[in-house]
Structure 1
Amino acid sequence: MSENPQQPQSPQQPGPPPQQPEQAPAYGSPPPGQPPHQDQPGQAGQPQPGTGYGPPYGPGAPYQPQPLNPSDERMWTVFAQIGPVLLSFIAPLVIWLVFRDRSRFVDQEGKEALNFQITLIFVHIACAIISVVTFGLGSIVYVVFIAAVVFMILAAVENSKGAPYRYPLNIRLIK
């Protein structure tokens, strides 16, 4: 052997290297012939400051929702008042839950619309009982739902102007 590190050293045993049985790579390991993956700072697996979906002021800071502008407030309150025509109490419930922290007006009007829809559910149950007891003659009480639609339209018009609306005969279960 030579003492010079510049010269390559020859192997002591000439011949082919011993063969090992081929195994399928484990799940998540790199394909054969590639070096194993090592996470470097700034690569996937390592969080980078200032990126992602979190708030820009730090990962441990509490979430501060952005307030709605007045036109968005009016739009969402109108949807909360008119949405029940198609989706019953689901529309005001979702709008109230999503936007209650972002606007006092949407919080107030979303609760009002949700309470009115809950009241209408009770009225519907009462109308059904009256209809069954009177063998269908009492189904005329379903006319009350025409008044409910009129109240929802009045509420939407007032909310579109930015004014609050209080339903008459509303059971306010959600405070």
Structure 2
Amino acid sequence: MTDPMHTPYGQGLPATPATTGEERTWAVLGHLAAIVAAVISAGWLSFVGPLVIWAIYKDRSAFVRQAAAGSFNFNLAVWAAIVVGWVMFFTVILIPVAIIVWGVAVVAALVFHVRAAMAANRGELYRYPWGITVLR
């Protein structure tokens, strides 16, 4: 098994032993819940879905816990980028830069969450390219 700390970002890692269909389903939901919550809340609550799934499964399944924690940590980084974009927006002169930051954050969130969900569906762990590590 590949060491997750030394694996290139965005590469699916082998699943933990005996990953069940239910665990894969919850791991997929852990990744996609962020997108759903972002759409419903205009981006402000994208971290809630992964946090709830992490809280429920943190002691039940290492696979689901790692998937939800990765999604949560990545969402914090995306959320921070969006907040930085708002700060730039209110400086008026940096409005074009703010729009670019928002665009990159939104596209990155969509692409990486979908890739992570696809890896989880295959029973593989996914390592996001960046994140603010709060949950493990």
Decide: shared fold, TM above 0.5: yes
Please, what is the CA RMSD of the aligned residues? Answer: 1.6
Residue of structure 2 equivalent to 1:102: 60
- Which stretches of structure 1, 4 residues or longer, exceed 2 Å deviation after superposition? 134-138
1:93 paired residue among 51, 61, 83: 51
Residue of structure 1 equivalent to 2:11: none
Distance 1:119 1:135, change over 3 A: closer
Q: When the two structures are superposed, what TM-score results if normalisation uses the length of structure 1? A: 0.58
Structure 1: distance between partners of 2:100 and 2:51:
29
Contact 2:82–2:101 (CA under 8 A) maintained in structure 1: no
Residue of structure 2 equivalent to 1:60: none
Q: When the two structures are superposed, what TM-score results if normalisation uses the length of structure 2? A: 0.73
Residue of structure 1 equivalent to 2:20: 70
Report deviation, 1:85. Answer: 1.2
How many correspondences in the alignment? 108
Does structure 1 residue 143 correspond to structure 2 residue 116?
A: no
Q: Percent identity?
A: 31
Q: Deviations over 1:88-142 (max 9, x none)?
A: 1111011110111111101111111111111111111111112222252222221
SS in 2 for 1:101: coil
- Greater radius of gyration (CA): 1
Residue of structure 2 equivalent to 1:81: 31
SS in 2 for 1:173: coil
Does structure 1 residue 153 correspond to structure 2 residue 103?
A: no
Contact 2:19–2:123 (CA under 8 A) maintained in structure 1: no
Report deviation, 1:69. Answer: 6.3
Does structure 1 residue 126 correspond to structure 2 residue 84?
A: yes
Q: Deviations over 1:22-62 (max 9, x none)?
A: xxxxxxxxxxxxxxxxxxxxxxxxxxxxxxxxxxxxxxxxx
